[in-house]
Amino acid sequence: MSTTSSAGHEGWILPWYGFILGLCLLVPTLLRLQQEGWTGVTIVFVATGTALVIFCVTRLGIVLSRTLNSIKAETEGSGSP
C-alpha cells in the first residue's frame, strides 16, 4: 500500500482521541473530588486521565515536529535552482 496524503492524517487522529478521552476522565473526576474526597476509583481515574493527556500531548508534539520538518525539507528542496 502506497503512502498518500490521507494516510498522513492517521498520525493525528488517535492522539487527539486519547487527549479528549483523558480530559473526559480527568475533569469530571477532579470536580467530583472536591465533593467526595480521594477514593481508589478516583486515584485510578486521575492517574489514567493524566497519563493519557501527557502521552497524547507528547505524541501530538512528535507528529507536529515531523510534519514541520518534512514541510521545511520540501520547501528548501524545491526553492533551490
Mean pLDDT of 20-25: 93
The pTM of the whole model exceeds 0.75: no
Q: pLDDT band for 79, please (50, 70, 90 cuts).
A: low
pLDDT tens digits, 34-78: 888 889 999 999 999 999 999 999 999 998 898 888 888 888 876
Of the candidates 22, 23, 8, 14, the residue with the CA atom closest to the CA atom of residue 68:
8
Model pLDDT, residue 59: 92
Task: Find out whether 28 and 62 touch, Cβ atoms under 8 Å.
Answer: no
Model pLDDT, residue 21: 93
